[in-house]
């Protein structure tokens, strides 16, 4: 008989890895987590030397839910003999590579992770325990009984495996987003070799930056398209040796943002990563949430102020020494079209980008040997989910409820794919443990990790005010009352 798990997670990024770490010591949660990769990897293409997280070390996998957890960032530092070095460094912000190493360390300790499992289908199947009259549940407040389980089929190198579970967590994350005008533009073949009449360099998303860095530099000129921290980190990395000696290159940065804006990091603004603001956000009509999502990007998609200053100081230092820095910074400028010119740059080929300035309305053509697209990521609904298994909105996105469930029986949870419904807390690493605490409370019918419900000094609506619309999502208190 197939083993029935209380909780099955699909995809093992930082959020599901944190959930696995928090579930590990719980006697009433039998969990398993599946991922198609061979092991944990976090943004491997952007582990540029010296780059740091934009959140403090407390925003690790577990600390904000359980400061005593053996899977904390500080516990990793202690075990690896680096706690005092981190202390003396006097910075709250871990190196990006450090965070990846820490997550790998946690993953190696968890027996509930199953790598090399590509999920191909998720369907409902009858629950044998319900048919026999046995409860078969572990005290779950939602989905106890219900008459069905979730059957998950996964393909492995050794064949097909099937799993059964009472609750699911969809942590499949987001996929690199490449604008239509760049998709298929690369003049290289599928093996990365230059095709006949091909381009001097590749067109890559920032997620693939490091494996392609040498080829980008060798192209002679690189244009970074996009905004935010990833764009700034790539630009700063390419700026380091641009225009100097053999293999010299130029680097340009084009963003449609009105300015190279910093991430807002004041304390009252940080209160927007709170349960109270999430309650407020999910109570708004979907159209208003979509507008706010665009307006609030500088709250979590901006550039760290230190990096902006470092870029400026680098440009200043080099220009003060009399060096001509081959670079151009263009803001408020959108790429509206792109093509490949096989006869450009001495026959090596060039990309031709049509740029439009938003304020002036002028357009120009910009030639470059390679392109890095810092154009972000998009959440998608996996094709392996059976039709009707999850609730979707009019735009085909997850219709995520306040407690992170996406089905009527509150048995399927989403982590990291609810930015359009929950706002700025969705991608925030520091809020991941809070969300996982809510999920584990939903699975167990108790609070293994106390959920802090009130953390903000400010209020995000008028006390006692009557909204002009009816909320389509529960607040956290309403969610608890419905248990």
Which pLDDT score, from 0 to 100, does residue 246 have? Answer: 53
pLDDT tens for 300-311 read 778 999 999 999
Tell which wins on pLDDT, 478 or 80.
80
Confidence grade of residue 344 (pLDDT, cut at 50, 70, 90): low
The confidence score (pLDDT) of residue 136 equals 44
Residues 448-453 have a mean pLDDT of 96
Q: Do domains 4-174+378-444 and 178-262+301-375 have the same CATH topology?
A: yes
Domain ranges, ordered by start, for the chain:
4-174+378-444, 178-262+301-375
C-alpha closest to that of 11 among 141, 115, 166: 115
Query: For residue range 114-170, what is the model confidence (pLDDT) as tens digits?
Result: 999 999 999 999 998 876 665 444 444 444 556 999 999 999 999 999 999 999 999
Question: Is pLDDT at 436 greater than 60 in this prediction?
Answer: yes
pLDDT at 176: 92
pLDDT at 194 over 60: no
More confident residue, 10 or 470: 10
Mean pLDDT of 20-33: 98
Architecture of domain 178-262+301-375: 3-Layer(bba) Sandwich (3.50)
Determine the average pLDDT of the residues in 386-414.
96
DSSP class per residue in 85-129 = HHHHHT-SS-BHHHHHHHHHHHHHH-TTEE-S-EEEEEEEEE-HH
Angle at 168 between CA 156 and CA 125, to 5 degrees: 80
CATH of region 4-174+378-444, choose from 3.50.50.60, 3.40.309.10, 3.90.550.10, 3.40.50.2300:
3.50.50.60
The predicted pLDDT at position 467 comes to 58
Structure tokens at 113: 């992770």
Tell me the pLDDT tens digit for each residue of 171-187.
998 899 998 888 878 64
What pLDDT is stored for residue 198 in this prediction? 47
* Percent over 90 (pLDDT), the chain: 72
CA distance 411 to 406: 8
Q: How is residue 289 annotated by DSSP?
A: H
Confidence at residue 321, expressed as pLDDT on a 0 to 100 scale: 83
Confidence tier at 247 by pLDDT (50, 70, 90) = low
* Residue 414 near residue 400 (C-beta atoms within 8 A): yes
> Does 59 or 470 have the greater pLDDT score?
59
Stretch 265-279: mean pLDDT: 91
Tokens of 371: 């392109």
Instruction: Report whether pLDDT(476) > 90.
Output: no
Q: How far apart are CA 476 and CA 431, in angstroms?
A: 15
- For the entire predicted model, the pTM comes to 0.90
Enumerate residues 6+ apart whose C-beta is below 8 A from 64.
58, 430, 431, 432, 433, 434
């Amino acid at each position: 008989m197939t083993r029935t798990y209380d909780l099955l997670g699909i995809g093992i990024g930082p959020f599901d890895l944190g959930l696995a770490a928090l579930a590990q010591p719980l006697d009433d949660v039998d969990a398993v987590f599946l991922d198609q990769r061979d092991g944990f990897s976090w943004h491997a293409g952007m582990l540029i030397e010296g780059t740091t997280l934009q959140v403090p070390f407390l925003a690790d996998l577990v600390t904000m839910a359980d400061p005593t957890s053996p899977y904390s960032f500080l516990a990793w530092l202690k075990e690896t003999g680096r706690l005092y070095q981190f202390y003396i460094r006097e910075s709250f912000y871990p190196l990006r590579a450090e965070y990846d190493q820490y997550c790998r360390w946690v993953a190696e300790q968890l027996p509930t992770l199953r790598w090399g499992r590509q999920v191909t289908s998720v369907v409902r199947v009858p629950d044998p325990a319900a048919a026999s009259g046995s409860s078969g549940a572990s005290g779950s407040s939602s989905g106890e009984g219900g008459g069905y389980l979730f059957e998950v089929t996964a393909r492995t190198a050794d064949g097909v495996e099937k799993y059964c579970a009472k609750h699911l967590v969809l942590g499949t994350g987001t996929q690199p987003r490449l604008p239509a005008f760049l998709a298929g533009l690369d003049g290289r073949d599928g093996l990365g070799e230059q095709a006949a009449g091909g381009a001097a360099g590749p067109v890559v998303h920032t997620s693939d930056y490091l494996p392609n860095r040498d080829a980008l530099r060798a192209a002679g000129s690189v244009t970074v398209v996009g905004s935010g921290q990833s764009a700034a980190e790539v630009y700063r990395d390419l700026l380091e040796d641009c225009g100097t000696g053999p293999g010299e290159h130029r680097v340009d940065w084009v963003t449609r943002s009105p300015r190279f804006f910093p991430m807002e990091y004041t304390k009252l603004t940080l209160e927007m990563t709170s349960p109270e603001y999430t309650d407020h956000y999910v109570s708004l009509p979907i159209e208003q949430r979509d507008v706010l999502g665009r307006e609030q990007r500088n709250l979590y998609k901006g550039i760290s102020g230190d990096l902006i200053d470092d870029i400026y100081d680098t440009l200043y230092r080099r220009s003060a020494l009399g060096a001509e820095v081959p670079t151009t910074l263009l803001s408020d400028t959108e790429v509206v079209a792109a093509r490949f010119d096989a006869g450009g740059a001495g026959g090596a080929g060039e990309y031709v980008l049509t740029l439009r300035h938003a304020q002036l309305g002028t357009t120009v053509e910009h030639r470059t040997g390679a392109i890095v697209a810092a154009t972000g990521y998009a959440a998608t609904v996996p094709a392996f989910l059976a039709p009707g298994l999850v609730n979707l909105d009019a735009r085909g996105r997850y219709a995520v409820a306040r407690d992170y469930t996406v089905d009527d029986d509150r048995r399927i949870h989403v982590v990291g794919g609810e930015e359009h419904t929950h706002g700025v807390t969705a991608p925030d690493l520091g809020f991941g443990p809070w969300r996982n605490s809510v999920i584990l409370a939903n699975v167990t019918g108790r609070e293994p990790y106390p959920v802090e419900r009130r953390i903000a000094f400010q209020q995000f609506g008028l006390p006692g005010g009557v909204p002009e619309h009816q909320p389509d999502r529960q607040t956290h208190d309403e969610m608890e009352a419905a248990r």
